[in-house]
Amino acid sequence: MAAETKNNKHLKKRTTWLGVVAGVIRKEDKILLGLRPAGSSLPDLWEFPGGKIELGESPPEALKRELQEELGIDAEIGKLIYAGTHTYGKNGIILLFYEVKYWKGPITPKHHTDLKWYEPDEIKELSLPEANKKMLKELGL
Ligand code: DGT
Protein backbone atom coordinates (compact mmCIF):
# COMPACT_ATOMS: atom_id res chain seq x y z
CA MET A 1 0.00 0.00 0.00
CA ALA A 2 1.31 3.47 -0.88
CA ALA A 3 2.41 5.47 2.12
CA GLU A 4 -0.06 8.26 1.36
CA THR A 5 -3.05 5.89 1.24
CA LYS A 6 -1.95 4.28 4.45
CA ASN A 7 -1.52 7.62 6.19
CA ASN A 8 -4.96 8.86 5.06
CA LYS A 9 -6.80 5.71 6.12
CA HIS A 10 -7.63 7.05 9.58
CA LEU A 11 -9.44 10.03 8.00
CA LYS A 12 -12.28 7.74 6.88
CA LYS A 13 -13.16 7.04 10.49
CA ARG A 14 -13.38 10.70 11.36
CA THR A 15 -16.49 12.77 11.81
CA THR A 16 -17.65 15.12 9.05
CA TRP A 17 -18.68 18.41 10.65
CA LEU A 18 -21.50 20.51 9.26
CA GLY A 19 -22.20 24.10 10.34
CA VAL A 20 -25.83 24.77 11.27
CA VAL A 21 -27.33 28.07 12.43
CA ALA A 22 -30.49 28.48 14.50
CA GLY A 23 -32.43 31.54 15.64
CA VAL A 24 -33.78 32.14 19.14
CA ILE A 25 -36.74 34.35 18.25
CA ARG A 26 -38.48 35.88 21.28
CA LYS A 27 -41.80 37.64 21.71
CA GLU A 28 -42.35 38.68 25.32
CA ASP A 29 -41.64 35.48 27.33
CA LYS A 30 -42.16 33.11 24.42
CA ILE A 31 -39.89 31.53 21.86
CA LEU A 32 -40.77 30.54 18.30
CA LEU A 33 -40.30 26.90 17.34
CA GLY A 34 -41.13 25.12 14.09
CA LEU A 35 -42.26 21.54 13.55
CA ARG A 36 -39.94 19.82 11.06
CA PRO A 37 -41.78 18.47 8.01
CA ALA A 38 -42.57 14.75 7.73
CA GLY A 39 -40.27 14.15 4.75
CA SER A 40 -37.17 15.83 6.26
CA SER A 41 -34.41 14.41 8.41
CA LEU A 42 -35.56 14.36 12.09
CA PRO A 43 -39.26 14.56 11.08
CA ASP A 44 -41.99 15.82 13.44
CA LEU A 45 -39.59 17.31 15.96
CA TRP A 46 -39.76 20.93 17.15
CA GLU A 47 -36.69 22.94 16.18
CA PHE A 48 -35.32 26.44 16.31
CA PRO A 49 -35.77 27.89 12.79
CA GLY A 50 -32.54 27.83 10.78
CA GLY A 51 -30.48 25.39 8.75
CA LYS A 52 -27.18 24.53 7.14
CA ILE A 53 -24.56 27.16 6.36
CA GLU A 54 -23.97 27.16 2.61
CA LEU A 55 -20.71 27.72 0.78
CA GLY A 56 -19.51 31.32 0.98
CA GLU A 57 -21.92 32.42 3.71
CA SER A 58 -21.01 33.71 7.14
CA PRO A 59 -23.15 32.15 9.91
CA PRO A 60 -25.31 35.31 10.37
CA GLU A 61 -25.81 35.56 6.59
CA ALA A 62 -26.91 31.91 6.52
CA LEU A 63 -29.40 32.51 9.33
CA LYS A 64 -30.78 35.64 7.66
CA ARG A 65 -31.35 33.62 4.46
CA GLU A 66 -32.91 30.67 6.30
CA LEU A 67 -35.32 32.94 8.21
CA GLN A 68 -36.34 34.59 4.95
CA GLU A 69 -36.90 31.18 3.30
CA GLU A 70 -38.59 29.46 6.24
CA LEU A 71 -40.56 32.29 7.89
CA GLY A 72 -40.71 34.97 5.19
CA ILE A 73 -39.16 37.61 7.46
CA ASP A 74 -36.33 40.09 7.05
CA ALA A 75 -34.50 39.48 10.33
CA GLU A 76 -31.72 41.34 12.07
CA ILE A 77 -29.35 38.74 13.50
CA GLY A 78 -28.06 39.57 16.97
CA LYS A 79 -25.47 38.06 19.28
CA LEU A 80 -24.18 34.51 19.26
CA ILE A 81 -25.81 32.96 22.33
CA TYR A 82 -24.30 29.49 22.31
CA ALA A 83 -22.29 27.11 20.12
CA GLY A 84 -22.66 23.38 20.71
CA THR A 85 -21.84 20.13 18.96
CA HIS A 86 -23.74 16.91 18.41
CA THR A 87 -22.89 13.77 16.46
CA TYR A 88 -25.22 11.47 14.55
CA GLY A 89 -23.00 8.47 13.79
CA LYS A 90 -20.18 9.72 11.57
CA ASN A 91 -21.87 13.07 10.95
CA GLY A 92 -21.50 15.94 13.34
CA ILE A 93 -23.20 19.30 13.52
CA ILE A 94 -21.81 22.48 14.99
CA LEU A 95 -24.93 24.29 16.05
CA LEU A 96 -24.70 28.07 16.43
CA PHE A 97 -27.62 29.78 18.18
CA TYR A 98 -28.16 33.48 17.52
CA GLU A 99 -30.44 35.98 19.18
CA VAL A 100 -33.09 37.42 16.85
CA LYS A 101 -34.78 40.47 18.35
CA TYR A 102 -35.98 42.44 15.37
CA TRP A 103 -37.59 41.49 12.10
CA LYS A 104 -39.81 42.91 9.37
CA GLY A 105 -42.84 41.23 7.92
CA PRO A 106 -45.37 38.71 9.25
CA ILE A 107 -44.06 35.30 10.33
CA THR A 108 -45.44 32.81 7.80
CA PRO A 109 -44.94 29.00 7.80
CA LYS A 110 -43.17 28.49 4.46
CA HIS A 111 -41.32 25.33 5.44
CA HIS A 112 -42.51 23.95 8.80
CA THR A 113 -45.68 21.90 9.33
CA ASP A 114 -46.49 24.24 12.22
CA LEU A 115 -45.01 27.28 13.97
CA LYS A 116 -45.76 28.08 17.61
CA TRP A 117 -44.69 30.43 20.39
CA TYR A 118 -43.75 28.47 23.52
CA GLU A 119 -42.99 29.38 27.12
CA PRO A 120 -39.56 28.05 28.24
CA ASP A 121 -41.28 25.54 30.59
CA GLU A 122 -43.31 24.11 27.71
CA ILE A 123 -40.24 23.60 25.52
CA LYS A 124 -38.78 20.98 27.87
CA GLU A 125 -41.87 18.83 27.36
CA LEU A 126 -41.77 18.86 23.54
CA SER A 127 -40.28 16.30 21.14
CA LEU A 128 -37.01 17.96 20.18
CA PRO A 129 -33.89 16.78 18.31
CA GLU A 130 -31.37 15.26 20.76
CA ALA A 131 -28.98 18.08 19.86
CA ASN A 132 -31.45 20.67 21.15
CA LYS A 133 -32.50 18.84 24.33
CA LYS A 134 -29.01 18.85 25.70
CA MET A 135 -28.47 22.55 24.86
CA LEU A 136 -31.61 24.03 26.48
CA LYS A 137 -29.84 24.80 29.72
CA GLU A 138 -27.04 26.65 27.94
CA LEU A 139 -29.67 28.63 26.06
CA GLY A 140 -31.13 29.70 29.39
CA LEU A 141 -34.36 27.70 28.78
P1 DGT B 1 -32.55 18.01 5.22
O2 DGT B 1 -33.77 17.91 6.10
O3 DGT B 1 -31.46 17.04 5.59
O4 DGT B 1 -32.83 18.18 3.78
O5 DGT B 1 -31.87 19.35 5.59
P6 DGT B 1 -32.52 20.75 5.69
O7 DGT B 1 -31.62 21.66 4.91
O8 DGT B 1 -33.99 20.81 5.47
O9 DGT B 1 -32.38 20.86 7.23
P10 DGT B 1 -31.72 21.94 7.97
O11 DGT B 1 -31.18 22.89 6.99
O12 DGT B 1 -32.69 22.45 8.98
O13 DGT B 1 -30.50 21.12 8.63
C14 DGT B 1 -30.06 21.34 9.85
C15 DGT B 1 -29.51 20.08 10.47
O16 DGT B 1 -29.31 20.33 11.87
C17 DGT B 1 -30.50 18.92 10.41
O18 DGT B 1 -29.74 17.72 10.39
C19 DGT B 1 -31.22 19.01 11.72
C20 DGT B 1 -30.17 19.53 12.66
N21 DGT B 1 -30.72 20.32 13.77
C22 DGT B 1 -30.66 20.00 15.08
N23 DGT B 1 -31.25 20.92 15.83
C24 DGT B 1 -31.69 21.89 14.99
C25 DGT B 1 -32.39 23.12 15.18
O26 DGT B 1 -32.78 23.55 16.29
N27 DGT B 1 -32.67 23.84 14.07
C28 DGT B 1 -32.30 23.43 12.82
N29 DGT B 1 -32.63 24.19 11.78
N30 DGT B 1 -31.64 22.27 12.60
C31 DGT B 1 -31.34 21.52 13.68
Q: How far is the CA of 28 from the centre of ligand 1 (A)?
A: 26
* Residue 84, SS3 per DSSP: strand
**In the chain, what is the greatest distance between 2 CA atoms, to the nearest angstrom?**
63
Q: How far is the CA of 51 from the centre of ligand 1 (A)?
A: 5
* Residue 10, SS3 per DSSP: helix
Domains of the chain: 16-139 (3.90.79.10)
Q: Which atom of ligand 1 is least distant from the CA of 51?
A: 11
Ligand 1 contacts (CB < 6 A) are 20, 22, 40-42, 47-48, 50-52, 93, 95, 129, 131-132
Distance (Å, whole) CA 73 – CA 132? 23
The tens digit of pLDDT for each residue in 100-138 reads 999 999 999 999 999 999 999 999 999 999 999 999 999
The tens digit of pLDDT for each residue in 55-84 reads 999 999 999 999 999 999 999 999 999 999
pTM of the predicted model as reported, rounded to 2 decimal places = 0.91
Q: How far is the CA of 87 from the centre of ligand 1 (A)?
A: 13
Q: How many other CB atoms are there within 10 angstroms of residue 46's CB atom? A: 20
- CA-nearest residue for atom 24, ligand 1, is 47
Q: How far is the CA of 2 from the centre of ligand 1 (A)?
A: 39
- CA-nearest residue for atom 12, ligand 1, is 51
